[in-house]
Chains A and B, each alone.
Chain A
Amino acid sequence: MKVERSRRAVITGKAPTGITGFDEITRGGLPDGRTTLLSGGPGSGKTIFGLQFLIHGAQKCKEPGIFVAFEENSKRIVKNCEGFDWPLAALQRKNLFFVDAQPRPELIQSGNFDLGGILAALTAKTRQMGARRIVFDALDVVLSMLPDGIAREREIHRLHDWLLLNHVTGFITAKVSVEDGIHPANQPFGYLQFMVDCSVVLNHRVHVGVSQRSIRVQKFRGSSFNEDESPFVIGANGFDVAIARKANPGNGKVTFARVTSGVKRLDTMLGGGYYRGASVLITGFPGTAKTTLSGAFAESCCQRGERTMFVSFDSDGAEVVRNLKSVKIQLTPHLKNGCLKMVSARNITGSAETLLVHMKRIATEHRTRCLVIDPVSTLSKAGNELTAHAVAERLIDWAKSESITLVCTSLLDETSSQSQYSAGTPLQISTLADTWIHLNYLVQSGERNRGISIIKSRGTAHSNQVRELILSDAGVTLADIYTAGGEVLMGTLRWEKERAERIAQEVADVGGRLKRVSLDAEEAILRVRAKSLKTELEAKQIEKALLLRTAKSYKRDVSGTRARMRELRGADIAQQGRR
């Protein structure tokens, strides 16, 4: 007894289950070398969980396992699990053993009995194959055959002690009443709950016709664990438990790198684009070009060669590609070279949780770096109202931890008023999103025009202006809008305003040109006049000079002539002087 007690006191470690999410909840797995109870109603997935635990042990942890089937025939269990991606046949040869311990219907019971037989058989098998994990599936079946509560407690004890003594990790599944609120002690095998070191409860509820499964760790001796109920899905690889974030977020690196939104002017509005790894929310009423905007983002991602996934809830992938072609968003080449993956999620049925698991799986397979979900508000359709918010939260957390840049669109009800949209989107994920772009209609003078504005963008400078979103066969672009008299002008009014301004500008241009020409002309005239005056002046000066010279030479000439005449007449000087 002493040996057992000391073994009980030592926290030996964890036996990983290999179940996505569950190992994170339990910080590593089930208690190694101890006993775990998994309880749940019919169809809650108890057998699958147990089997998955064994398969993981046999495959990955070098821990062979034994599956003791009290309820269902092992052949049928194997057959039922063919749908999963599990190599049961290969494992059964060596590391996985099924014990069929179903009490036969023809079995006659007479008086008290115990589980010595099975324990003896298991002892033999455990030694033979070196088993480290044992699953007792539907232990309640044999327990209910015991005559009284005392006998049940005794057998539970016997089983527990045997597990401890043989140092194997025990895993017991049992059916319990699905009703909540019953104290565990009052449940049929409540004693099990108190004896085991770890207790896990599976729930399977149907809310407005949508199946919602969840798992909750009720207790875990000697270890911390996530106490909340976590939704789960049984997928192609078995259990997939949804958890908010991984225990070691690590890979979600925060970066300053930006990625383009696919619309150049929107990048400018955002001060350079979205942050890489950010979650962007685009809200808007039907037809406000949410898909187009997210399509532009997808195209720009593919152009950089980043693997992108476009999940469409509204229409078929091919339709989206065709429709986006009309605004010059070419996705076909990227689809062909495998860079882009279109996922039409209309054909995925099930709860929001199922959708998320599907999306995560496809995204991981595609090694997605940029993800578009159009629209994410589909998650909150009927039956999912309660979980949709948590799913959206997990979606964003998951994208962050994987450094995936996420663009979600969210449909707003056209009837909802302005105040409602500012209060939040149907999923209330606007608080979680890093960047929130709102698209709106402005109905004005018989027109409906699209307006785009950035409501928030964490960590980036962003424009406070409403812009007009213009879709044309030349692509997607933004235009400034005019405010006149306190009203924004869009569409034709904006065009008219632009035109009026252009004309005014032209008139001003022409007027200016005219003025300059006339000034030029005047200047030319003056120049000509100045030149002619100068010439005239020169002429006058020459004339004046000539005049002077002529006068002088005449004078000289005259005196010369007289002297000559005197000479010729031979007159004397006196005569000459008298004259």
Chain B
Amino acid sequence: MVPRRKKFKFRLYIAGDTQNSASAISNLAILCKKHLLNRSETEVVDVFLEPDRALADGVFMTPTLVKLNPHPVRKIVGTLILSRRLMQCLQLGEFA
């Protein structure tokens, strides 16, 4: 059971206005809404608009979701299709 007080912090790197970007954003939104009611915070970075950040953060495949909080930091590549593995990775396994 994830403690209720714990706040989730995500950063989602997307590459422009593509199908993948849109899917990732909406999938993440659904996930947060369903499992992390008001306990999540997401920063969306468009690498085409901020290429320096992609270079600095080592984001080479998009979309990439970085879970900054709670630790450990995890990187997930792809459109975030809901799966058991994704939930496990986000430590939301119980809700899958």
Contacts and interface: CB of A to CB of B under 8 A. Distances in A.
B60 A112 contact: no
A100 B47 CA distance: 17
Interface stretch (A113-121, A275-283, A421-429): A113-121
Contact of A113 (B50, B58, B61, B85): B61
Nearest to B89: A108
Nearest to A115: B61
A113 B20 contact: yes
Contacts of A125: 55
Contacts of A107: 75-77
B75 A124 contact: no
Contacts of A123: 48, 51
B43 to A, nearest CB: 15
| Interface residues on chain A, size class | 20 to 34
Given A120-B48, A121-B54, A124-B55, A110 B79 contact: yes
B83 A116 contact: no
Contact of B20 (A114, A120, A124): A114
A120 B54 contact: yes
Nearest to A100: B58
A103 interface: yes
Given A117-B64, A121-B47, A124-B54, A112 B20 contact: yes
Contacts of A101: 58, 60
B61 A114 contact: yes
Interface residues on B, range: 35 or more
B81 to A, nearest CB: 4
Contacts of B55: 99, 120-121, 124-125
A111 interface: yes
B44 interface: no
Interface string B22-43: 0110010000000000000000
B83 A110 contact: yes
A277 B89 CA distance: 73
A419 interface: no
A79 interface: no
B78 A111 contact: yes
A103 B89 CA distance: 17
Interface in A107-161: 107-121, 123-125, 142, 145
Interface string B56-96: 00111111100000000011111111010110010000000
B20 A108 contact: no
A104 interface: yes
B76 to A, nearest CB: 5
A108 B58 contact: no
Given A101-B58, A121-B60, 15 more contacts: A108-B85, A109-B77, A112-B78, A112-B79, A113-B20, A113-B62, A114-B15, A116-B14, A117-B15, A117-B64, A120-B51, A120-B59, A121-B54, A123-B51, A124-B55
Q: For the complex of A and B, list the 5 residue pairs with the smallest distance between their C-beta atoms, beginning with the closest.
A: A116-B15, A111-B79, A120-B47, A124-B51, A111-B81
Interface of B: 13-16, 18, 20-21, 23-24, 27, 47-48, 50-52, 54-55, 58-64, 74-81, 83, 85-86, 89
